[in-house]
Structure 1
Amino acid sequence: MSNPAKPGPILEACNLFKSYDEGRIEALREVSVSIQHGEFLAISGPSGSGKSTLLQLIGGLDAPTSGEVYFEGSLLGSAIDLDTYRAKHVGFVFQAFHLMPTLRAIENVQVPMLALKTSADDRVKRAETLLMEMGLENRMGQYPNQLSAGERQRVAIARALANSPSILVADEPTGNLDSVNSARIMEMLTGIQKKHGMTLIIVTHENDIAEMAPRHIRIRDGRVES
């Protein structure tokens, strides 16, 4: 699905600052992180610590107030524009799923492929393959409100994988799930990461989730604590 892991960093965040409300709110302060190809990294911290802000910056969903983010040595927002970066290189999984309620599961999975002008036949085949991998072969024609929370998150994971990204970022992916579904989703995410050599970055406030990662960064008050 993605390229084999390469040596060296896939992402480098250098001295990131992010402020809001004309500088009155500092979400991130002097944050620098280097992330390797194929690495599984957890970012944790209390609510309001800045962990989701950091994920948004390295995922290209937002730009820092100052500092730089590099993808394979290319400066985001300059050498590579954020739309291209998100479309080609990053898959997103969110706590609230963010599925489109008027689209069936198989149609939701196809949405990211529209940005790459994939043919209609290829989109359908790809979506079917991914949903089958998620164990949802009998749920492809269902709308999100006809799916359980765990099923919706599995559709969201399939959608995140649609364009074969090299980076998978997950913001509290188990936050809306019970313990059984949380365990299943984490098993899926880590299995995908190992199978395809993807870089997996998970933001969580749950210590048991964070401790699954070989590397764990803690953020407090907008700074890397450990």
Structure 2
Amino acid sequence: MRRRVAILISGRGSNMTALIEGARAYDFPAEISVVVSNKANAAGVAKARAAGIPVEIVESRPFGKDRAAFEKALQIVLDQRSIDLVCLAGFMRLFTPEFVQRWHGRMLNIHPSLLPSFPGLDPHGQALKAGVKVSGATVHFVTPDTDAGPIVIQGVVAVKDDDTAETLSARILAVEHRIYPAAVRLVADMRVRIDGDRCVTEGAVAPDTIMIAPGA
């Protein structure tokens, strides 16, 4: 049976679209059952509807700082849709520890850096300021600590000397679109096991190639 996935968005829905497209594969072990937006005017809402995915709007603004009340309304939607796995895709709302614990091992997020480096806001600017030679994206399980959950999968790009935050972001976004569906496939196939702060993936084969940046 395919796992039922809810994608939570607040904006354009770029990674949402990648997940929807990835789930169209005949052997994909999950289906996108609903897209939930906390903003009625989010650009991703129209994209989801155009793709034929059911959309639910759970506005966060009326709840103000009452995160628990918002989460209660959100949980009702997730329960009604019998959701197995939640994927955050540009969802700009922090959860309470209680909600995160309820979805322990069943909620994923994607972050545009090679965690644990450069968590939080402006990861591209952080990477450029630090002068790193590689950066990338990380899909991880959500925990109460921001961008700190067990890592499922990562993708790497080289950082160029003339990169700006915008050019680096564009290259990393292409990596995000590849690794998020791959992470959902691993989790939905029950191939990922959380071991403390780490993820162990059954049958995973690490590539033998070495990436050196800058190249000689």
Q: TM-score, normalised by structure 1?
A: 0.30
Q: Which has the higher contact order (CA 8 A, sep 6+)?
A: 1
Q: TM-score, normalised by structure 2?
A: 0.31
